[in-house]
A = this chain, B = another copy of it.
Amino acid sequence: MAPKVLVVGSGGVGGIAALALTKNGKSETTLVVRSDYDKVIKDGYTVHSVTYGDIENWRPKHVSKSVQDAAKEFGPFDYVVVTTKNIPDGAMTCEDIIRPAVSSNTTIVLIQNGIGIEKPMIEQFPNSVVLSGISLIGSSNINCVIENLHKDHILLSPFNNPNVSKELAEEKLHEFASIYQNEDKKVNEIVLESDSRRSRWEKLIYNAVLNTTCAMTGLDVNRCQMNGSNATLFGPAMDEVLAIAASDGVVLGPESKQKFLHIGDGLFYSPSMLIDVQKDQLMELEIILGNPLKIARENGVSAPILSLLYQLLKMKQFKIRESKGLVKVDESQFKGKNSDEYPEIFAACNKNGQ
């Protein structure tokens, strides 16, 4: 029987993942579609993809309105592919989002950015194989129109879960690769890696530095560079990422830094966190800066620029969280109190908020 795959997250990456799996025909794919459910059931998606061509009214085999519904209607799942944003300080952790669809035999595939994203997964689902997917696709899904600009290209590797055998992890890695990989590697390409850390730290050079600065300043990468930030901010902050990565066993050379300093030359591109801020959406702050800075602290690596960026962005995130009702500020609780004690007063008022 073909493996059952649930794709959670129907943005640009999730939509293309569901399409790739469906096209390849080696698995039975269910996609969770929340707000656009009725539209997708009725008309499907319009796809403009350099990888898979132009398709009208496309729908994966199964579509469910929630993870709960998917588990009831089309489970149990052999694979749960997570392509949502990863925002531990948001309304719901990724662990809680996928929980209804995870059984003891489920392999979890995290096609997401960031460092340390496997830790809470393994903590919550200790017997699951957890795979790392790093998508190098440029893809968006706006009003059920999926636009995919680059070839679908995924770096796939096992995360280290001490509770499962290496053999099992390898088996799942290869099985998932085989159900995703088209027979013609010119179409899409799954690249297997033995360890995700190098690729993740490398991608973090971009995300921890350019993405965060743009979110703070409201400028795209190139406009930051007009203000001299390659020399005064981006470069020194990237050196901090390289130092933390090295303390985690991943040595990235200066060519990695040069690559990301120039990756957007001339493109006037707005990175995801900037778009999040512009749309008053939560940012993937903890997995992009919070977790790497925890590693820096554990390993005694100094990272003053990233630390200040993190503090400022945490406050910016606080504003977005407050606007979404995720934290509440009862100003009357703070009257007459010493501001040194505000964090404790705030924590007492928001037992679930940070």
Contacts and interface: CB of A to CB of B under 8 A. Distances in A.
Interface of A: 213, 216-219, 222-233, 261-262, 264-266, 268, 304-305, 308-309, 311-312, 314-316, 318-319, 322, 329, 331, 334-340, 342-343, 345-346
A261 B339 CA distance: 8
Nearest to A307: B232
A146 B334 CA distance: 30
B227 A343 contact: yes
B222 A315 contact: no
Nearest to A315: B217
A226 B346 contact: yes
B311 A219 contact: no
22 contacts: A213-B315, A216-B216, A217-B316, A217-B319, A218-B319, A219-B318, A222-B339, A223-B322, A225-B339, A226-B345, A228-B343, A230-B340, A233-B311, A261-B339, A265-B339, A266-B334, A266-B335, A266-B337, A268-B331, A268-B334, A304-B304, A312-B312
B226 A329 contact: yes
A338 B219 contact: no
Contacts of A222: 331, 334, 339, 342
Contacts of A224: 315
A262 B338 contact: yes
What secondary structure prevails in chain A residues at the interface with B?
helix
A248 B246 CA distance: 41
A224 B312 CA distance: 9
A341 to B, nearest CB: 9
Nearest to A266: B335
Nearest to A343: B228
A130 to B, nearest CB: 31
Given A217-B319, A225-B340, A268-B331, 13 more contacts: A216-B315, A216-B316, A217-B315, A217-B318, A219-B318, A219-B319, A223-B318, A226-B346, A227-B318, A228-B343, A230-B342, A265-B337, A304-B304
